[in-house]
Amino acid sequence: MQAPDDPALAAAVTAADRVPLARLLVDWARDARFAHTLSDLSTVVDTVTVERAITGDLPAECTLVEGFSAASLTATLTGTRAQDPHDIARMFSPYGTGATLLADDQVDAPLTLDLGLTTRAGPRLLRQFTGTTRTVRVNARNRTVTVEALDPAERLRGAVTLPVGAAEERTYRNTAFWIYRDRVNTQWVVDFVLRRNGIYMSPPPRPGCIWAMTCHGGLYPDIGFNRSVISGDKTTSAVPEFVAGRYGLAANGGPEIRSLIGSRTAGVGFNFGTRGVGHVFDFHIKAGASNAFHPYSDGTIVQASTSRVTREGATVEILISTNGQLSARVLYNPTTNSNPVVAATIPGPTITGAADWHSVGFWITYDIDNLRVFTRWHLDGVQTATVTTPANVQSLVGQTRGHVYLNTCLPVQCVQIAEAAAPPAGWGVPHVSQADLDTGLNWMTGLPDIVGADSWTVIKAAVAAEYGLVAFTEHGRFRFTARAKAPPAPVKTISANVDLADLDLSTSLDGVRNEITFRHAPRLERVSAVVYTARTIDELDTGALNTRFLTLPLDKRARLSTTLLRYTKAEWPTAASGGYVVVNANTGAEVTSSVTVTLGLVDGDAAAAVVISNANTFPIRFANGSEPAFKIRGFPVTDDPPLPTTLTDTASAARFGRRVLDLPDSGFRHHPAAAADVAASVLADLARPTPVLADIPVVGDPRVQLGDVVTLTDPTGLGGPITGSVIALRRSHSTSEGLTDRLTLRTRPPA
């Protein structure tokens, strides 16, 4: 309920004489100022109606928390505004002399509607709708304009591709040895899609962001690729992998749990040492003056390398000590076989007090000409001065994509790395969250193979797998609500002698289901398998004294194994790793020298970058006799065969007979325990008949929202109290009938 603590508005709702108010604004100029000459249409509103309803795949009796809510608005405009030379129909015509609103401008324009009442304390207006115009119709005969609008779900249409990844099969099968669970919550999927559409529950990626991981229920890069769980350790299975953070879920860390996640930067490498290029690291961490780490953790939080972390090239890492001291180090490796050399240590601010969430930032740039680094920190928005530190980094070996490790020594979230020549403006200013996302009931073992799909479709599919609810509020704010959330207390009482115009109670056996059948299919990353094979013997032919740069599409998106070995013809039939046989393209003789083949990664894990250099004076071919001999191995992600399970409410089956609901299969339903939790929640709702009060006309109350719980009393009719949740709401304002509501309620069993 909106404005529950406004006594003046509450009194106006039940007053005998009501003066309803409406404010309809359209941002035709799309500049967020609503300053166009036709933006304020309030005085010409004849009728305006907003409809909201929860819809989904289950029987209507189960739509308390299930499916998605779509809102629509229809407004009829008539008359003439005081400031206009013509009536509203003429003003909307794009063909009249001096037209101010062209046809192209009339659709997809931001629109808001506020409804309210005049109270003893003055006018009170509450937001009822935020969306965009869909259709504008001008009726010359009736001199009216009809405006139709939809909520922001209409704009969630960007193409989205989920990252590649899943729990390793060996860790999933052997739970006795591998206690740590690599899994993904529905919250992570919803947040990932929202971020692709410019809606940010947590801080958005900075300009120039090359890598980011939100940790909102999954350890997958939001920006980046080639992700792997290098290690995950817990002292007991009861310790959760994720905990509540400042924004949604956060990766857990501490004395009982830690994880080490590796992945690659996106778009560019970690170009540390490139003139004019600096980097800014941002993250949120739960820490204090006293911190304890897992035995395998040393306080490292994040590491980024030009090549391979602490093994090759240069690495920048950020750490925290047990007493809350932040610090950074610059390291380099002269060779891949040496131990890393510390080139510089940069102390940072100290976190004090009890453990709490803190925002941390670190900016660094390397002056390669004068062998020094410039650095600056911020802690909770308080910046330090820029510090100059000598740093003789003797190895800057780089790859086309940088290597990043996230170490969860403590609870951490919202980690990102961006290129920044200087500390960014507004660095450390807290982010105002733009969405409310519950922790989902469903946990997945991996991410479905979704490429270029419609964003709204992906969100609905992910949430439907656990029968939760997604909706945009009256203010246009996105909300994901999980089924497991406890029902709220009633927000108001509707009495027959005050509000209630009609009451029609319907109870049906059609909605009863006492057996739920569902299937889950664990999605897992398999052991190394061939993900690319040359199709013909000559497709990779490389001319004499020539170099070829190839992008080879993989048979299936997968994390790659970068091992690529040269085999002899005799070894090839049993070659266990990725590799090739190279021969003289003219004679077929094996070639054992002057050929190099390197395998690189490509953003998105859908292709491989291969460079073939031939220093011989003859062309080369990758073949073994008449067969092609070039293959790349990786770690493909596939589904196990689906496993069916049936849950039964025996008491309901005995009372009403067996009534089965077969839940549709879902690419987001992987884990047996999570799938059973979802099915049990659905079964609890459907095992008994639930009365539905449909389309009840009541006096309009601009405070009531979809999902609110209300109590009905009808002393001379059906009695009461009857408590139910609003699952459909049609609110109208008109010059003739004032403010009215029509509610559909899903009732609760009598106390």
pLDDT, one tens digit per residue, over 556-569 is 999 998 889 999 99
pLDDT of residue 531: 95
Looking at the structure, tell me whether residues 70 and 120 fall in a common domain. yes
Looking at the structure, tell me whether residues 12 and 31 fall in a common domain. yes
**Based on the structure, what is the number of domains in the chain?**
4
- For residue range 518-539, list pLDDT tens digits in order: 999 999 999 889 999 999 999 9
pLDDT of residue 691: 76
Position 59 pLDDT exceeds 70: no
For residue 670, what are its two tokens?
């992987």
pLDDT of residue 497: 61
What is the average per-residue pLDDT within 18-40? 95
Position 240 pLDDT exceeds 60: yes
Tell whether 441 is covered by a domain: no
Element (H, E) at 261: strand 257-264
The rounded distance, in Å, linking the Cα atoms of 308 and 338 is 13
- For residue range 644-681, list pLDDT tens digits in order: 999 999 999 999 889 888 888 899 999 888 889 888 88
What is the average per-residue pLDDT within 317-326? 98
Position 238 pLDDT exceeds 90: yes
Looking at the structure, tell me whether residues 658 and 601 fall in a common domain. no
Helix 455-464 with 186-196: angle, nearest 10 deg: 170
pLDDT of residue 692: 77
Residue 461 has, within 13 A of its CA and on its CB side, a CA count of 16
What is the average per-residue pLDDT within 45-53? 95
Question: Between these two residues, 552 and 94, which has the higher pLDDT value?
Answer: 552
Give percent of the chain with pLDDT exceeding 70: 95
Query: Closest Cα partner for 177 from 239, 125, 237, 249?
Result: 237
Lowest mean pLDDT among 162-171, 289-298, 429-438, 666-675: 666-675
The rounded distance, in Å, linking the Cα atoms of 347 and 342 is 14
Tell whether 342 is covered by a domain: yes
* Beta bridge mates, 100: none
Position 261 pLDDT exceeds 90: yes
| Final residue belonging to a domain, choices 116, 135, 152 | 152
Q: Are 411 and 244 in contact (CB under 8 A)?
A: no
Tell whether 399 is covered by a domain: yes
**Average pLDDT, rounded, for the chain:** 92
pLDDT of residue 615: 98
Q: Are 526 and 638 in contact (CB under 8 A)?
A: yes
- For residue range 198-224, list pLDDT tens digits in order: 999 999 999 999 999 999 999 999 999
pLDDT of residue 503: 66
pTM for the full predicted model = 0.92
Looking at the structure, tell me whether residues 56 and 104 fall in a common domain. yes
Confidence of residue 337 (pLDDT cuts 50, 70, 90): low
Lowest mean pLDDT among 44-58, 338-352, 639-653: 44-58
Tell whether 592 is covered by a domain: yes
Lowest mean pLDDT among 42-46, 496-500, 508-512: 496-500
Q: Diameter of the chain by CA atoms?
A: 102
Give percent of the chain with pLDDT exceeding 90: 75
- Which strands, in side-by-side order, build the sheet including 595-601? 546-553, 607-614, 595-601
Question: Between these two residues, 493 and 641, which has the higher pLDDT value?
Answer: 641
Length of the chain: 751
Position 572 pLDDT exceeds 60: yes
Confidence of residue 65 (pLDDT cuts 50, 70, 90): very low
Looking at the structure, tell me whether residues 146 and 19 fall in a common domain. yes
| Final residue belonging to a domain, choices 626, 652, 686 | 686
Looking at the structure, tell me whether residues 223 and 345 fall in a common domain. yes
Domain residue limits at 546: 529-639
Tell whether 659 is covered by a domain: yes
What is the average per-residue pLDDT within 225-230? 95
| Three-class secondary structure of residue 89 per DSSP | helix
The rounded distance, in Å, linking the Cα atoms of 267 and 693 is 55
- For residue range 114-126, list pLDDT tens digits in order: 999 999 999 999 9
Looking at the structure, tell me whether residues 364 and 303 fall in a common domain. yes
Looking at the structure, tell me whether residues 126 and 262 fall in a common domain. no
Looking at the structure, tell me whether residues 631 and 655 fall in a common domain. no
Looking at the structure, tell me whether residues 46 and 137 fall in a common domain. yes
- For residue range 676-698, list pLDDT tens digits in order: 988 888 888 788 887 778 888 88
What is the average per-residue pLDDT within 610-614? 97
For residue 325, what are its two tokens?
């001291």
Tell whether 545 is covered by a domain: yes
| Final residue belonging to a domain, choices 127, 152, 177 | 152
Looking at the structure, tell me whether residues 682 and 602 fall in a common domain. no
Position 586 pLDDT exceeds 90: yes
What is the average per-residue pLDDT within 179-189? 97
Question: Between these two residues, 331 and 577, which has the higher pLDDT value?
Answer: 331
Query: Cis omega (within 30 of 0) on the bond before 85?
Result: no
User: 90-96: long-range contacts at Cβ-Cβ below 8 A with a sequence spacing of 24 or more?
Assistant: 91/38, 92/38, 92/136, 92/138, 92/145, 93/138
* Non-local CB neighbours of 282 within 8 Å, separated by 6+ positions: 203, 206, 359, 360, 361, 414, 415, 416, 417, 418
pLDDT of residue 489: 83
- For residue range 301-315, list pLDDT tens digits in order: 999 999 988 888 999
Tell whether 491 is covered by a domain: no
* Beta bridge mates, 705: none
Looking at the structure, tell me whether residues 115 and 252 fall in a common domain. no
Check which CATH number belongs to the domain holding 305 and give it.
2.60.120
Tell whether 718 is covered by a domain: no
Position 501 pLDDT exceeds 80: no
pLDDT of residue 751: 59
For residue 22, what are its two tokens?
């409406």
> What phi and psi values does residue 450 have, to the nearest 5 degrees?
-115, 120
- For residue range 124-151, list pLDDT tens digits in order: 999 999 999 999 999 999 999 999 999 9
Position 750 pLDDT exceeds 80: no
Element (H, E) at 731: strand 719-734
pLDDT of residue 661: 86
The rounded distance, in Å, linking the Cα atoms of 359 and 367 is 27
